Structure 1
Amino acid sequence: MADDDQNEKYRAPALDKGLDILELLSETQEGLSQGEISKALNRTPNEIYRMLERLVRRDYVVRTANDSYELTLKLFALAHRHPPMHRLISRATPMMRRFARASGQAAHLVVFDRGNVVVIAQVDAPGYWSLAIKVGSHIGLMNTGSGHVLLAFARDEERRLMIEEHERMPHEQAPDDLDQILELVRQRGYEARASQQISAVQNLSVPVMGSEGRVLAALTCPFVERIDSAAAPKRDDVLALVIELGQDLSRTMTALEASDRT
């Protein structure tokens, strides 16, 4: 009760209203009209209009030709100015591009952030086709290779908090043998299992480690077997490349963190 009183004491209604709009729009793919936003947030059209005008003027929201409102990429850009995130992405991206050229496969990098597993970097496979996940997407913690790696290499207390905080995706189910799966991932140092979302895809996932044994991210290749080229690397060859990339990136990030302390 005391916490509720404290929270009420420091309320900022205008800020809450703006954040409510941003969070609502982040969950829609095609934008919403002013009326739809007002109804969803149980606010009057006038107060929503004023807040939308400010968000549009500050480039957080854009008004489309059919008078609906959508998020811009400004929040995404702000997140990537954060030094630790920017450094991880800037170091990982060229290394992931080299992997894509060598393997003929796509790859993406994910982190756990405030209850969500978020894709922060992605590279396409070379050529005219590629299986890719959009940067900024939220994916499952319990039913993806990336999620299993993040859980497996987290410390015990951190793992417990991740599971408690996680906002589950639609249709996300934790396997009955999750503990055994995570133990196997820890033992062999990677996850390799069929995708629970897309048929014929094998998720090959490894951790990106920082100093003091802390897991920073998970690196995943959604492997698809090529049948149009006899020279295309096979699954085991691609897995070896994923493991090598994860180790190289872990060494890079560990060295950078060590230099920060000296």
Structure 2
Amino acid sequence: MSEKKATEAKVDSTLSKGLAILEKLAETRSALGVTEISRSLDLTKSNTFRLLQTLSRLGYVTQREDGAYAVTLKMWQVGRSTVDSLNLRELAAPEMAYLADETGETIYLAVPEQFNVVYIDKIESKKPIRSWNPIGGSAPIHCVGTGKAILAANYERLREKLSEPLPGYTGRTMTTLSQLDEDIEATRMRGYAYDTGEFRDRILSFGAAIKLPDGEAVAAIGISVPNVNLPENGEERFGALSAHAAEAVSRKLTRV
């Protein structure tokens, strides 16, 4: 047997099927039933059920009262550990400090979690009027600067998983895919994302994606600012600053 064939023979089919189920549940907004999962992954219902029971006993999946299955926080904890292993906080700290000094506003470091972003670090603004979100807090990926920056970088993979209407939070929230398509294109053209108060009224945010060498966004760095604090020409300046900071952190990732 050739070395290549020997390597392929070592792939555990049960493990790969279990991981496929986890990936399917993680990318889906709502819980799924055994039939839905088995059909989408071309597995038998009996095999799917056995794998779900194993994943449930291991704490990665939970069965709801209606019989459908969903991933648990243990999946998030594993993902969070992976992010931590990249030393993102340490790598991004100098750029975050620079943005805080330059703008005086709140600076966030965020990572994607399904269709949200989770804030894993921040530098608080010292201004009397400022935005606020705790470390560990989350926001919808299509509404805030850091989220839209990640979404733009990974849009080919994520768009087909979005469905209308998108959740609305303010009168400025984009709730249709056509609106989002236009915004993503504008984000790519500018090099940074701009939230015009789409998650919280009168709170603006700018974000740019932190990318791996293959172009996948694993995080974003952003500036959050109440609209009354935004200086003249502040949109272009804050956007450019966030893009410069994200590019600097992305370059560091190539050396990790």
Q: If the length of structure 2 is used for normalisation, what is the TM-score? A: 0.62
Q: Is the 8 A contact 2:110 2:119 kept in 1?
A: yes
Q: Is the 8 A contact 2:212 2:253 kept in 1?
A: yes
Instruction: Quote the residue 1:163 is aligned against.
Output: 162
Q: Is the 8 A contact 1:143 1:174 kept in 2?
A: no
Instruction: Quote the residue 2:199 is aligned against.
Output: 197
> What do you get for the CA RMSD once the two structures are aligned?
3.8
* Residues 201/246 of structure 1: CA separation in 2 closer, same or farther (3 Å cut): same
Report the Cα distance in structure 2 between the residues aligned to 1:179 and 1:14, rounded to whole angstroms: 37
Instruction: Quote the residue 2:186 is aligned against.
Output: 184
Unaligned runs of 5+ in 2: 1-37, 67-72
How far 1:20 sits from its partner (Å)?
4.9
Instruction: Quote the residue 2:46 is aligned against.
Output: 5
Post-superposition Cα deviations, 1:96-150, rounded to whole Å, max 9, x if no partner, equal 1332133201111222234443222222123566422222223112232223212
Tell me how many residue pairs correspond in the alignment: 202
* Residues 13/196 of structure 1: CA separation in 2 closer, same or farther (3 Å cut): closer
Post-superposition Cα deviations, 1:182-239, rounded to whole Å, max 9, x if no partner, equal 1111111112241212222221111112202222222221123566xx9x99554433
State whether structure 2 residue 57 is matched by structure 1 residue 15. yes
Report the Cα distance in structure 1 between the residues aligned to 2:48 and 2:186, rounded to whole angstroms: 43
Moved more, 232-241 or 216-225: 232-241
Instruction: Quote the residue 2:213 is aligned against.
Output: 211
Instruction: Quote the residue 2:252 is aligned against.
Output: 252
Instruction: Name the SS for the 1:136 alignment partner.
Output: coil
Q: Is the 8 A contact 2:117 2:147 kept in 1?
A: yes
* Residues 179/255 of structure 1: CA separation in 2 closer, same or farther (3 Å cut): same
Q: Is the 8 A contact 1:225 1:234 kept in 2?
A: no
Instruction: Quote the residue 2:151 is aligned against.
Output: 151
Unaligned runs of 5+ in 1: 22-39, 43-70, 257-262
How far 1:251 sits from its partner (Å)?
1.3
Report the Cα distance in structure 2 between the residues aligned to 1:218 and 1:81, rounded to whole angstroms: 17
Report the Cα distance in structure 1 between the residues aligned to 2:202 and 2:155, rounded to whole angstroms: 32
* Residues 225/147 of structure 1: CA separation in 2 closer, same or farther (3 Å cut): closer
Report the Cα distance in structure 2 between the residues aligned to 1:14 and 1:178, rounded to whole angstroms: 36
Report the Cα distance in structure 2 between the residues aligned to 1:76 and 1:113, rounded to whole angstroms: 8
Instruction: Name the SS for the 2:201 alignment partner.
Output: coil
Q: Is the 8 A contact 2:174 2:198 kept in 1?
A: no
Q: If the length of structure 1 is used for normalisation, what is the TM-score? A: 0.61
Q: Is the 8 A contact 1:209 1:254 kept in 2?
A: no
Letter in 2 for 1:160: R
Report the Cα distance in structure 1 between the residues aligned to 2:237 and 2:111, rounded to whole angstroms: 25
